[in-house]
């Protein structure tokens, strides 16, 4: 896979992407639910995106790689200004080393559900006690070129928690305003080559943090479902 990237541009900003926590979670409940998509474990059901190049890549990967079901927590902290909790993965990891990510990982056979997997991983990675976490809904299934089928779970997080970072998995944890991540003016579309296929991905730089790839893709999908009528 080529590592070259070309800026395509950023879409125009909406006039208002600021919502209170109550307004945001009300929209989430209206547009998502806790139904588990069959494509999480069925290789014949390909997660779809709005990029035809990426859709072709996912079709190829589904034939070549085994499915790797995973779940991530999309933690929205219920502050006066809603914040999104993100991690910086450890630089020594085999997969996605050093990248900005949501807490989460593969779904283990001992996990009762994707929800339990996301909560468990958040506890293991950053020590987020699940008593502070209110699961709200699953998002749409997200496929990656590495064979992962990721089910993001949106959660409302009460302030007052204390974090304990697992240094074997995470280098840092930080917060970004939800309004910043939901503003399409901050969504920069790039392209990358996969074999002979041009596929797109998003990046959302925030200060010295580089949010891109899967994490930015999930955030972009959240914006499209919650902020676009």
Q: Is the pLDDT of residue 97 over 70?
A: no
Chain segment 129-161, per-residue pLDDT in tens: 999 999 999 999 999 999 999 999 999 999 999
**Any domain includes 158:** yes
> Which has the minimum average pLDDT: 1-10, 28-37, 103-112, 200-209?
1-10
Q: Would you call 116 helix, strand, or coil by DSSP?
A: helix
State residue 18's pLDDT score. Answer: 73
**Any domain includes 16:** yes
**Any domain includes 1:** no
**Any domain includes 222:** yes
- Note the pTM of the prediction, 2 decimals: 0.90
Chain segment 7-49, per-residue pLDDT in tens: 333 334 444 567 889 999 999 999 999 999 999 999 999 999 9
State residue 89's pLDDT score. Answer: 81
The number of distinct structural domains making up the chain is 1
> For residue 158, what is the domain's CATH number?
3.90.79.10
Angle between helices 213-227 and 21-31 (to 10 degrees): 90
Which of the pair, 14 or 218, is modelled with greater confidence? Answer: 218
**Any domain includes 23:** yes
State residue 95's pLDDT score. Answer: 57
Domain that holds residue 183: 6-227
* Helix runs in 65-110, H state only: none
State residue 90's pLDDT score. Answer: 76
List, in sequence order, every residue forming a beta bridge with 125; answer none if it has no partner: none
**Any domain includes 87:** yes
> Which has the minimum average pLDDT: 20-24, 92-96, 113-117, 167-171?
92-96
Place of tokens 């994707």: 114
Interval 76-105 mean pLDDT: 83
**Any domain includes 120:** yes
State residue 169's pLDDT score. Answer: 86
CB neighbours of 94 closer than 8 A, spacing ≥ 6?
none
Place of tokens 């972009």: 220
**Any domain includes 110:** yes
Q: Is the pLDDT of residue 185 over 80?
A: yes
């Amino acid at each position: 896979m080529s590592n070259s990237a070309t800026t395509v541009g950023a879409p125009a900003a909406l006039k208002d992407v600021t919502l209170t926590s109550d307004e945001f979670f009300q929209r989430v409940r209206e547009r998502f639910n806790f139904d588990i998509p069959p494509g999480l474990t069925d290789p014949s059901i390909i997660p779809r995106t709005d990029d035809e190049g990426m859709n072709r890549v996912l079709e190829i990967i589904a034939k070549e790689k085994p499915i790797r079901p995973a779940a991530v927590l999309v933690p929205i902290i219920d502050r006066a200004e809603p914040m999104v909790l993100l991690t910086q993965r450890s630089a020594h990891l085999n997969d996605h080393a050093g990248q900005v990510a949501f807490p989460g990982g593969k779904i283990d056979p001992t996990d009762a559900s994707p929800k339990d997997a996301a909560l468990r991983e958040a506890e293991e990675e950053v020590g987020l006690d699940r008593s502070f976490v209110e699961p709200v809904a699953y998002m749409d299934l997200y496929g990656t070129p590495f064979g992962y089928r990721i089910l993001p779970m949106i959660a409302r997080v009460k302030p007052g928690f204390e974090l304990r970072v697992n240094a074997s998995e995470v280098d840092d944890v930080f917060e970004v305003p939800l309004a910043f991540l939901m503003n399409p003016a901050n969504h920069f579309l790039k392209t990358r080559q996969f074999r002979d296929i041009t596929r797109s991905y998003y990046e959302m730089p925030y200060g010295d943090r580089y949010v891109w790839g899967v994490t930015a893709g999930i955030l972009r999908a959240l914006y499209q479902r919650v902020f676009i009528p």
